[in-house]
Structure 1
Amino acid sequence: MIAAIGILVGVILGIVVDINIPEKLSPYMSVAILACLDSVFGAFRANLSNNFQANIFISGFFGNAILAAALAYLGDKLGIPIYIAAVIVFGGRIFDNFAIIRRLVIEKIRSR
């Protein structure tokens, strides 16, 4: 219930508050947001599997975001688009988690 309220508050704030991210920072923010979404989908999957642990979620949420942004920064300094690796990995994990979430939800619906 708390997670649903947090998501709702976040969506409302995102719609109401006008935040402009400078174009120079957009690659860092995009991979950080993708990393955070990966953690959210992983947490949702873990919750459906009855093995969610808040400390794992929080450390993954912030750790993945910082690592992804740091990789994007390092790649920017080296002149190599390393952020693409983070996009591929986190994007693939999001789709994998979504597939597992879908199966778990269908199984729960069928078992009723």
Structure 2
Amino acid sequence: MVPLIGLIIGIILGVLLPINLPSSYSSYMSVAILACLDSVFGGIRSSLEGKFDTDIFISGFFGNAVLAAGLAYLGDRLNVPIYLAAVITFGGRLFQNFAVMRREIIQNLRDRKKKKAEDEERSGGDRDEA
């Protein structure tokens, strides 16, 4: 729940407090934002699985962003598009986390529906006997 709240707060702040950055920073920021989104989706996934740890989430959030931006900077200095490695990795993990989250949500809904049907069956069976 913490990652989702953080994402919502971040979006609201981004809309209310627009900051203009020079276009020369666009590749760094785009990779850093992608890394942060990967951490948010990973946090939501781990929350759905019941394995969420705030310390791991926060360290991953900032660590991934700094590492991705650093790789983009290093690639610019070497004139090699290293940032593409971060884009491919974080993009793939985003889709993977989303797929796991979708399966978890669908499974939870199915389990609730099954439990509700079983509860109704049990309570309906009790009424027939009385």
TM-score w.r.t. structure 1 length?
0.94
Q: Tell which structure's C-alpha radius of gyration is larger.
A: 2
Name structure 1 gaps, 5 residues minimum: none
Structure 1 counterpart of 2:59, which letter?
S
2:12 corresponds to 1:12: yes
Structure 2 counterpart of 1:92, which letter?
G
| Distance in 1 (alpha carbons) for counterparts of 2:7 and 2:34 | 16
Match of 1:73 in 2: 73
Q: Which runs of 4+ in 1 moved over 6 A?
A: none
Q: Which moved more, 1:66-75 or 1:12-21?
A: 12-21
2:86 corresponds to 1:90: no
Going from structure 1 to structure 2, the CA distance change for 1:2 and 1:98 (only over 3 Å counts) comes to closer
What SS does the aligned partner of 1:84 have?
helix
Match of 2:106 in 1: 106
- Aligned Cα RMSD in Å? 1.3
Using CA pairs under 8 Å that are at least 6 residues apart, name the structure with larger relative contact order, 1 or 2. Answer: 1
| Distance in 1 (alpha carbons) for counterparts of 2:87 and 2:60 | 16
Deviation at 1:22, TM superposition (A): 0.7
| Distance in 1 (alpha carbons) for counterparts of 2:104 and 2:66 | 30
What SS does the aligned partner of 1:111 have?
helix
Match of 1:54 in 2: 54
Tell me if structure 1 keeps the 8 A contact 2:4–2:40: no
Deviation at 1:12, TM superposition (A): 1.8
Percent of residue pairs bearing the same amino acid type: 62
What SS does the aligned partner of 2:51 have?
coil
May I ask how many residue pairs the two structures share in their alignment? 112
